[in-house]
Amino acid sequence: MAAARDYYQILGVSKNASKEEIKKAYRSLARKYHPDLNPDDKGAEEKFKELQEAHEVLSDEEKRKTYDMFGSAEFRPGGQTTWKRAGDPGGGNYQYTYSSQDFPGFEGIFKDIFGFGGAGRGPGRGSGDAFRDIFSSTSRGKAAKGKDLEYQIEIDFDTAIKGGVRDITISRQKLNNVSTEKLSVKIPPGVATGSKIRVQGKGESGGRGEKGDLYLRISVKPHPIFKRKQDDIYLELPVTFYEAALGKQVEVPTIDGIAKVSIPSGVQNGTKLRLKGKGVQNIKSKARGDQYVVVKIVMPDNISESDKEIFEKLAESTPYDPRTKFSKYMKQIR
């Protein structure tokens, strides 16, 4: 008599396990030890046969009762199950040859797990189809997709703001050599340093699967006069002290061209003048930010003696002390 086997231990479940727990354990282990996933591993093939034997008994209430009373020797098969792998050049067809005399109820197990029954391949449904259903997480999807590629490209400020097209050359690993490809990539308006542009299907090849994607990480060259903060643009505007005192309308550059801005009389240094809608288009919402013109009051490089006399008269006629807020503290420290 053959040695008894512990079917519960083979499936890794307790003796009080429910039918669903037994089925779940069997499915999990069947994926791991199936001969077609371990073609050169005799140990895996034997393990898979043990799993089938254990499941065939424990999933049947009457057989399970008998097993619990007498052990596994009552259920040991007299014959052997043989597995044949018949693959076409695409590797998608699998064939299983077995005898229903080896394991009573064996056909029901195959129908339950793989979706077909009978000796060999089932009618109306290739075994490769059933295999893809149960092993989809390992034989397809991410495992079949090629690797993504990532490149960093530098673009000028205007292209980042308005969008454009950038020609690049990328390298991919192909068989035993490195291949290159020239691409024209569309740059959407509003990208910034750190933005990523995805170019679908331009990554590494996945063999028989789909290609990975290409990701372009953007670096934007600084602009000589504009500074960008999110979707707003800042421009520092130098004004003379008499323009600040009298007020004036001046022309300023924007990303759309020339615009006019009014400097109010008595404007203070650092004042921000807003040009609505003259900023960057948001890459998601498509709404535009603003441009802020920041006033910077500057003095002439040289002041003549006659100009000094004018300033002295102006100071006498319009007494003004911008440091009055220091007065209280100054008295305390004298």
User: For residues 74 and 3, is the Cβ–Cβ distance under 8 A?
Assistant: no
User: For residues 181 and 174, is the Cβ–Cβ distance under 8 A?
Assistant: no
User: Distance between CA atoms of 65 and 285, rounded to whole angstroms?
Assistant: 66
pTM above 0.75, yes or no: no
Give the residue among 167, 175, 169, 170 at the shortest CA–CA distance from 205: 175
* Consecutive H or E run containing 32: helix 19-33
Determine the residue type at 66.
T
Per-residue tokens: 198 = 């995805």
pLDDT tens string, the chain, 334 residues long: the values are 345 678 999 999 999 999 899 999 999 998 888 887 887 788 888 898 889 988 999 999 888 888 887 765 555 544 333 344 444 444 444 444 444 444 444 444 444 444 444 444 434 444 444 444 444 444 444 456 788 888 898 999 999 999 999 888 888 766 555 778 888 889 999 999 988 999 988 888 776 667 888 899 999 999 999 999 999 999 999 998 888 888 999 999 999 999 999 999 989 999 999 999 999 988 888 899 999 999 999 988 888 888 888 888 887 887 777 777 777 777 777 6
How many helices (H) and strands (E) would you count in the chain? 11, 13
What's the burial of 259, exposed, middle or buried (CB within 10 Å: 0-12/13-18/19+)? middle
